[in-house]
């Protein structure tokens, strides 16, 4: 098996990026698109030359799909993923894996029962400066990671929340900046620290978006299992957006870091990535002078690719290859669960006014 029949569920903004990859990758035979709005599904399917559906069960029965990408609003991920798993269809879900830990566990259980691969999008793991950091950390070049920081100073205007009826609501989005904009960097922080968060103390607030009830800012302090510490500052309250960074500091005193986004983080299907991700911190002994070269290399690569679609395509390719090669995907459902567990613990900590232990 070297080509899989693939489909998309959720024909919205980020669905376009998935569809482009599914239609272009040699591992994929893109055959179907599903959306509750049949008119939107039909328009979308016509654009990509696939068959439209408004009922996922019917799509799974009629199209012989082997793998599906899910790009619906977050609280709807579980229902679609479980239906696919019950049909023996492999599932790649847009971030976050789900809006609640309970939904994550239901999805993981269904994947185990169905014998399918369950993965979650975290395409920033494939950014060149992020891969460079991971390679250096795994090689012991900073010693043991002992302090990690994720900082996001971004922005969303009122038009963003009005662009889709599900945005900015607890019941249809599951939260605000922690659920929507932060999962990529929460995943990177835990992956690069190579450790498990065991305790969280955090707060969230809505600082300057009175038209929505969800949080636009959150802060948290993390304690990892092996003694490392971490911090999160995530906000959509800095107009027009400043930067998003993940920095890892090691037991030798050496540090590595990435600026994943300059200005406001992009909005899939609306805005583009205007500046390349770059390493903005590199103090490994004997390698301090490499930072300028790293940045030049990454700016040159950025000019040659469409960064909006390239990294999604790379991860979707990895997911399809994981099925063909009978191995786990590089970003698993369990990885996605860790992200949800962390932001859910921040919500709980703020609500209850105490630190939260993670099991």
Over residues 22-80, the pLDDT tens digits come to 999 999 999 999 999 999 999 999 999 999 999 999 999 999 999 999 999 999 999 99
More confident position, 173 or 266: 173
Element (H, E) at 146: strand 145-153
Strand pairing report for 197-205 and 217-224: antiparallel
What is the pLDDT averaged over residues 123-136? Answer: 98
pLDDT at 268: 79
Element (H, E) at 153: strand 145-153
Say whether pLDDT at 159 is over 70.
Answer: yes
Q: What is the percent of the chain with per-residue pLDDT over 70, rounded to a whole number?
A: 100
Q: Over the range 104-130, which residues count as b (16 or more CB within 10 Å of their CB) and which as e?
A: bebbbebbeebebbbbbbbbbbbbbbb
DSSP lists the bridge partners of residue 33 as: 8, 52
Say whether pLDDT at 359 is over 90.
Answer: no
Name the nearest CA neighbour of 10 among 86, 94, 108.
94
Residue with tokens 């993940």, as numbered in its chain: 246
Collapsing DSSP to helix, strand or coil, 28 comes out as strand
272 phi, psi to nearest 5 deg: -115, 170
Say whether pLDDT at 240 is over 80.
Answer: yes
pLDDT at 78: 97
Q: Are 154 and 241 in contact (CB under 8 A)?
A: yes
**Whole-number mean pLDDT of the chain?**
96
Beta strands in 265-328 (DSSP E): 278-282
Is the pTM here over 0.85, yes or no? Answer: yes
pLDDT at 1: 57
pLDDT at 144: 98
What is the pLDDT averaged over residues 88-112? Answer: 97
User: Domains of the chain, with CATH numbers?
Assistant: 4-123+313-331 (3.40.50.720), 126-305+339-352 (3.30.360.10)
- 311: DSSP letter: H
Say whether pLDDT at 270 is over 90.
Answer: no
Lowest mean pLDDT among 167-171, 195-199, 253-257, 264-268: 264-268
Per-residue tokens: 254: 């050496």
Q: What is the percent of the chain with per-residue pLDDT over 90, rounded to a whole number?
A: 95
Lowest mean pLDDT among 139-153, 213-227, 255-269, 332-346: 255-269
What whole-number distance in Å separates Cα of residue 209 and Cα of residue 188?
Answer: 27
């Amino acid at each position: 098996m070297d080509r899989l029949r693939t489909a998309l569920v959720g024909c919205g903004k980020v669905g376009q990026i998935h569809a482009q990859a599914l239609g272009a990758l040699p591992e994929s035979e893109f055959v179907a698109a599903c959306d509750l709005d049949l008119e939107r599904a039909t328009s979308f399917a016509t654009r990509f030359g696939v068959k439209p559906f408004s009922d996922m069960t019917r799509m799974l029965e009629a199209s012989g799909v082997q793998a599906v990408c899910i790009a619906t609003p977050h609280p709807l991920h579980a229902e679609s993923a479980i239906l696919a798993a019950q049909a023996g269809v492999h599932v790649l879900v847009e971030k976050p894996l789900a809006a609640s830990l309970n939904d994550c566990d239901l999805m993981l259980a269904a994947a185990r029962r169905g014998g399918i691969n369950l993965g979650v999008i975290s395409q920033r793991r494939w950014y060149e400066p992020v891969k460079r950091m991971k390679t250096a950390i795994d090689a012991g070049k900073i010693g043991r990671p002992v302090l990690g920081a994720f900082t996001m100073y971004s922005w969303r205007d009122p038009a963003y929340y009005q662009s889709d009826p599900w945005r900015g609501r607890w019941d249809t989005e599951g939260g605000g900046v922690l659920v929507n904009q932060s999962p990529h960097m929460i995943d990177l922080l835990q992956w690069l620290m190579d450790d498990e968060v065991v305790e969280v103390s955090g707060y969230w607030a809505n600082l300057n978006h009175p038209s929505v009830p969800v949080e636009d800012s959150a802060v948290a302090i993390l304690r990892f299992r092996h003694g490392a510490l971490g911090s999160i500052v995530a906000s959509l309250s800095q107009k027009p957006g400043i930067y998003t960074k993940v920095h890892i500091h090691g037991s030798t005193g050496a540090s590595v870091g990435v600026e994943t986004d300059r200005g406001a983080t992009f909005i899939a299907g609306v805005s583009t990535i205007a500046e390349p991700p770059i390493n903005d911190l590199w103090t490994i002994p004997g390698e301090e002078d490499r930072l300028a070269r790293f940045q030049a290399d990454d700016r040159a690569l950025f000019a040659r690719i469409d960064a909006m679609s390239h990294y999604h395509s790379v991860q979707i390719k990895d997911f399809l290859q994981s099925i063909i090669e009978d191995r786990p995907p590089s970003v698993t459902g369990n990885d996605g669960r860790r992200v949800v567990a962390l932001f859910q613990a921040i919500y709980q900590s703020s609500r209850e006014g105490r630190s939260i232990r993670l099991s």
